Structure 1
Amino acid sequence: MNEWLTDPYRFPGLRSHPYDDDAEAGAPVDAWPGPSPAPGPPPAPARRPGADATPDSADRRRLDLHTWLTSAGVRPHTDDPHAIAVLSTVDDTTHAALRRWITGGL
């Protein structure tokens, strides 16, 4: 049998193939042995991921630069994350000029 047919990354619900010799007869293909664990209580609101989801200005500028470069068709290079991190620390006036240069004044 082809390996790609039973690849767990390609088909995550597939635990065993129904025509395999070692598969249990009559067991559903996606059966999981044993009971599933009960979910725990949700974390406290202050400890939830994303509770402080407001990005600071450097993060916002970094995301803006990635967006502008991608929309302008500039492919990322291996050295680009460092340059973008440095450009993310500039003031608002310089950041606005970068936006105009990259997006063509839009």
Structure 2
Amino acid sequence: MLPPPNPAHRLRSPLDPRDLRRLDLNAALTAAGIAPSPGDRDAIEQLSALPYSVHEALHRWLTR
């Protein structure tokens, strides 16, 4: 299984950073074998609004 992509290695994107964090979080959850439930959408949106340092910690926790 491949690890989630490293956000630091991404090319510049026209997407809003919050949208990128949301997509990365969904990818990390999926890679960790955690399928978000429909009710988790609000939590994912809230987590995506947090600073990048919090997002990095979430990824670290999910990938270890």
Partner of 2:10: none
- Poorly superposed stretches of 4+, deviation over 3 Å: none
% identical equivalent positions: 44
Please, which runs of 5 or more residues in structure 2 have no aligned partner?
Answer: 1-12
Q: RMSD of aligned C-alpha atoms?
A: 1.1
Output one character per residue of 1:12-44: Cα deviation in whole Å (capped at 9) or x when no partner. Answer: xxxxxxxxxxxxxxxxxxxxxxxxxxxxxxxxx
CA distance in 1, matches of 2:35, 2:59: 17
Structure 1 or 2: more helix by fraction:
2
Q: Which has the higher contact order (CA 8 A, sep 6+)?
A: 2
CA distance in 2, matches of 1:96, 1:86: 15
Please, which runs of 5 or more residues in structure 1 have no aligned partner?
Answer: 1-52
CA distance in 2, matches of 1:77, 1:91: 24
Structure whose CA Rg is larger: 1
TM-score normalised over the length of structure 2: 0.75
In structure 1, which of residues 59, 67, 77 is the aligned counterpart of residue 19 of structure 2? 59
Partner of 1:102: 62
Query: How many positions carry a matched residue from both structures?
Result: 52
